[in-house]
Amino acid sequence: MAKLQRLGKGDFQALAEFRFQLRRFMRFSEETAKSAGLTPSQYQLLLQIKGFAQRRAPSVGELAERLQTVPHAVVTLVTRCERAGLVTRLCGENDRRQVHVSLTPAGHRAVSRVALRNRNELLSLTSVFRPAQLSRLNDRP
């Protein structure tokens, strides 16, 4: 049986501060999305489409993985975004059953507005994620 490691006060402080700052950022991001006329889920979908590294248009399955949800929930979200004029669906080139999702010009504008504000807020949190701050996780009692 592996020996259980003990956490010191510094571990708990670093983890608590990280969690606090993460939640603070998430709340800021949610409010920023709402002020731009998007739901937080819509913004997350648009962000994953815009930031998808492998191709221009991710599939519904790939978006489900990136959003950590199930494909049928992504289909519902894509439908809402499509009705709002933010995304379009594309049939796969090799497999017409596979659906890919891309941003419309309105989707590009919406995600870019929110992402710019989020990036600026994230930059204000850099001290939390600096190696010196995270090194507290190595402190032992």
Give CA separation, 138 vs 8, 54, 103, 126, 128, in Å.
9, 35, 43, 19, 15
**pTM exceeds 0.95:** no
How crowded is residue 31: how many other Cβ atoms within 10 Å of its Cβ?
12
pLDDT bin (cut points 50, 70, 90) of residue 3 is low
Average pLDDT over residues 47-51: 96
Radius of gyration of the chain (CA): 19
Kindly tell me if the per-residue pLDDT of 131 is higher than 50.
yes
Task: State what percent of residues in the chain have pLDDT above 90.
Answer: 61
Contact (Cβ atoms closer than 8 angstroms) between residue 86 and residue 110: yes
Kindly tell me if the per-residue pLDDT of 80 is higher than 50.
yes
Give the residue, 139 or 31, on which the prediction is more confident.
31
CA distance 89 to 74: 12
Average pLDDT over residues 84-110: 91
Kindly tell me if the per-residue pLDDT of 119 is higher than 80.
yes
